[in-house]
Amino acid sequence: MKFGPLVFLAAFLGLSASWYGLVLTPQVQLGRATQETNSVVKTELYPVGRPGLAREGLEVYRANGCAYCHSQQVEQKGTLIDVVLTEVGTNSMNVANALNEAHVGDGKFNGPSVGAGLPKPVLKGATIENASVLANVLKKAGATAELHLVPTGSDIERGWGMRRSVAQDFISDATVMPGSLRVGPDLANVGARLPDLNWQLVHLFNPAAVTKGSPMPPYRFLFERRKIGKQPSPDALKLMGEFAPAAGYEIVPKPEAKALAAYLISLRSDVPLYEAPLTPPPAPAAATNAPAK
């Protein structure tokens, strides 16, 4: 071939283009990421590192190949906005008229009713443009309104997360395994969905015990079946009915099982970020010891 070295060089450049674009550039952009602020509560940092036991659990997750059936990447199709009225201000008639003119709801707002049951959403599932317009209108009428972000997508509707997964979610993990097949549900936020340690352990020991008909294999080798000593162990699994061990025996998790369960419970990524904005749900009211009224 006449242009041998030239062709070789061109082929080499062609093949290294993908290295440049898919290996070097992402590393430059994302490789040195550090903690970011929570975009709503700006004094909080995200992500906080996983506690030690959860980090060991990540190694158990990797060694047993959990990523071959479970993904850790939540998708998002779009973001809709709810306009939530928080205060009516001094002239509720104005506000009601403004809402009716904007053809919001069924146009039947009137002075007294518009201020009832606040805070309440007056427009749901709107685009950002329409929502901003309405918020301005309400502001001019003297009311205060908030815009609440509502991410949409089938993953989010299934409760697998409140927003999509982004690079920031993974910076504190030694091995990042987003998965490639969803035989089972996505686990990016399983710690928010199923935070009970005993549930996670029982599910690992025998998935059929908590999810009937589950194709997930039982991870019995992570547990130990032993005779109950003088007292049952505080770690023993609470199993019911046909899944409970024989009388006099208890199932106790080995350190690997505890680590894996701790890792699963640490998987929470519902924090609003600049690149994945979210309106977090209102925190539940603080519990008090005061007697019920």
Q: How far apart are CA 33 and CA 63, in angstroms?
A: 26
Nearer to another protein, 250 or 256 (CB): 256
Minimum CB distance to another protein, residue 16 (Å):
8
φ/ψ of 285, rounded to 5, equals -60, 140
Nearer to another protein, 197 or 216 (CB): 216
Minimum CB distance to another protein, residue 88 (Å):
19
Nearer to another protein, 111 or 184 (CB): 184
Minimum CB distance to another protein, residue 290 (Å):
28
- DSSP label at residue 45: E
Minimum CB distance to another protein, residue 13 (Å):
9
DSSP letter for each residue of 48-66: PPPPHHHHHHHHHHHHTTG
Minimum CB distance to another protein, residue 200 (Å):
15
- Strand-pair category, 36-37 with 45-46: antiparallel
Q: Using the Cα atoms of residue 161, residue 166, residue 172 and residue 174 in order, give the sign of their dihedral.
A: positive
Minimum CB distance to another protein, residue 243 (Å):
13
Q: Name residue 145's beta-bridge partners.
A: 85
**Helices 52-63 and 255-265: crossing angle, nearest 10°?**
100
Nearer to another protein, 196 or 275 (CB): 275
Contact predicate 250/220, CB 8 Å = no
Nearer to another protein, 169 or 250 (CB): 169
Q: Name residue 161's beta-bridge partners.
A: none
Nearer to another protein, 68 or 249 (CB): 68
Nearer to another protein, 98 or 272 (CB): 272
Q: Name residue 231's beta-bridge partners.
A: none
Q: How far apart are CA 62 and CA 10, in angstroms?
A: 39
Please report, in angstroms and rounded to a whole number, the separation of the first and last CA atoms in the chain.
92
Minimum CB distance to another protein, residue 224 (Å):
12
Nearer to another protein, 97 or 199 (CB): 199
Minimum CB distance to another protein, residue 124 (Å):
15
- DSSP label at residue 286: P
Exposure letters 198-217 (e unless 16+ CB within 10 A, then b): eebbbbbbbbebbeeeeebe
